Structure 1
Amino acid sequence: MSVRQGLLTLLEQQPMYGYQLRMEFESRTGSTWPLNIGQVYTTLARLDRDGMVEGAGSDEEGHVMYRITDAGRAEVAAWFTTPVQRTQPPRDELAIKLALAVTMPDIDVAAVIQGQRRATMTALQDYTRLKRTAEDSTAAGGQVDPAGLGWGLVLDSLVFAAEAEIRWLDHCEARVRRAARERRPSVESAPAPQDTKADA
């Protein structure tokens, strides 16, 4: 997630102060990625330093306003026309957890997978419920609200990611089981037990 480009995109519409930017960002993304107000002001300071935004005075309540510069507009345009690169995937805590779990002798990997699957299924149900609510409110009003559409796209992304994670967990479970079977010596190859009793 790029807070920098997100704030610049919002400032393209009109000058705003930090708290307004935070509220607009969270409104348009359904508060999926809440922003810390300190992060907003730190980002604004960097954007100002880099010539992407500039001070636009204060409003009647004394809030310091920021507006986008031509350089900032160029950065927003470049961001929207440049595909998101996947060459450096973000750290995935679940993938790291399972990669380490399979190397630890005392960890019940199947239990880890099952616990995560239950949690992901719960999240998927929550996202689906939110999506239905969002679609119902849009249908009731009769008009498509751009912020509502944006929130719907975020929800779609979360639903698809949860579904993909469940499929991946099923795949992991199958691989772990197969690996366990391959490590276990087969009954056929095991030596027959020796009869230690003397013949009568």
Structure 2
Amino acid sequence: MSIRHGLLALLERGPMYGYQLRAAFEESVGGTWSLNIGQVYTTLSRLERDRFVHPLPENDGGQRPYEITETGRAELTRWFATPIERTDRPRDELAIKLALAMATPGVDVSAVVQSQRAAGIRALQEYTRLKRGQDAAESADLSWPLVLDAMIFQCEAEIRWLDHCEATILRRRPSGTGPTSAAAPTPAADPAAKEPEGAGR
């Protein structure tokens, strides 16, 4: 999600100034995305330049609220109606890291996979704990629970993919050798070979 569209969505609720927008943004995503106040004001400046928001007079505390314009509402409507394409999302840093590990001499790829899986399991446990707390609270606000669900599903998918990576590495590792690394290229897998029992678990 772009910060600009996030701020537009928040301003659709009503006028806010920078610190209010930062707090509302972080609350909406359960604190999983921290914003620097400088990012907020830089984005507001660009939104004003594009006529998506309009500054209001300063309040008694010296803060200047912003309100969304009709042009901004049209842009927000367009954003909500447009599916996010895979090519629009950030590159998968983990996949790139593993690809580079496979090609870098001396790197124990199995250790990289296991370390990442352990981190993923810890994150999954934490998200699950938070989810149980949300379920117990039975809050009427569904935004944070849905964000939690997405994070849980992403963790589960990442762990499954890492299991697959480890199983593939084990299949390609010659029997009796140490951890797979780019320093010792291994032969292609035998199509008739069976996956080792318990691989990736």
Alignment pair present for 1:102 and 2:102: yes
Report the equivalent of 2:187.
Answer: 183
Q: Structure 1 residues 30 and 185, CA, compared in 2 at 3 Å: closer, same or farther?
A: closer
CA offset at residue 81 of structure 1? 0.8
Q: Which runs of 5+ in 1 are unaligned?
A: 139-143, 187-200
CA offset at residue 135 of structure 1? 1.2
List per-residue Cα deviations over 1:165-197 (Å, max 9, x = no partner).
0000011111112222462899xxxxxxxxxxx
Q: Structure 1 residues 80 and 89, CA, compared in 2 at 3 Å: closer, same or farther?
A: closer
CA offset at residue 150 of structure 1? 0.4
Report the equivalent of 1:172.
Answer: 165
After TM superposition, the score normalised by the length of structure 1 is 0.85
List per-residue Cα deviations over 1:119-148 (Å, max 9, x = no partner).
10000000000010111112xxxxx422xx
Report the equivalent of 1:48.
Answer: 48
After TM superposition, the score normalised by the length of structure 2 is 0.84
Q: Structure 1 residues 172 and 59, CA, compared in 2 at 3 Å: closer, same or farther?
A: same
Report the equivalent of 2:151.
Answer: 158
Q: Which runs of 5+ in 2 are unaligned?
A: 175-185, 191-201
Q: How does 1:69-148 map to 2 (within 5 A)?
A: 69-138=69-138, 144-146=139-141
- CA RMSD, Structure 1 to Structure 2 (Å): 1.7
SS in 2 for 1:124: helix
SS in 1 for 2:56: strand
Bigger radius of gyration: 1
List per-residue Cα deviations over 1:10-39 (Å, max 9, x = no partner).
111111100000111111111111111000
Q: Structure 1 residues 61 and 109, CA, compared in 2 at 3 Å: closer, same or farther?
A: same
Following TM superposition, the consecutive aligned residue runs of length 4 or more in structure 1 with deviations greater than 6 angstroms are none
SS in 1 for 2:60: coil
How many residue pairs get aligned? The number is 179
Alignment pair present for 1:25 and 2:25: yes
Amino acid at match of 2:125: Q
CA offset at residue 88 of structure 1? 4.2
CA offset at residue 93 of structure 1? 2.0
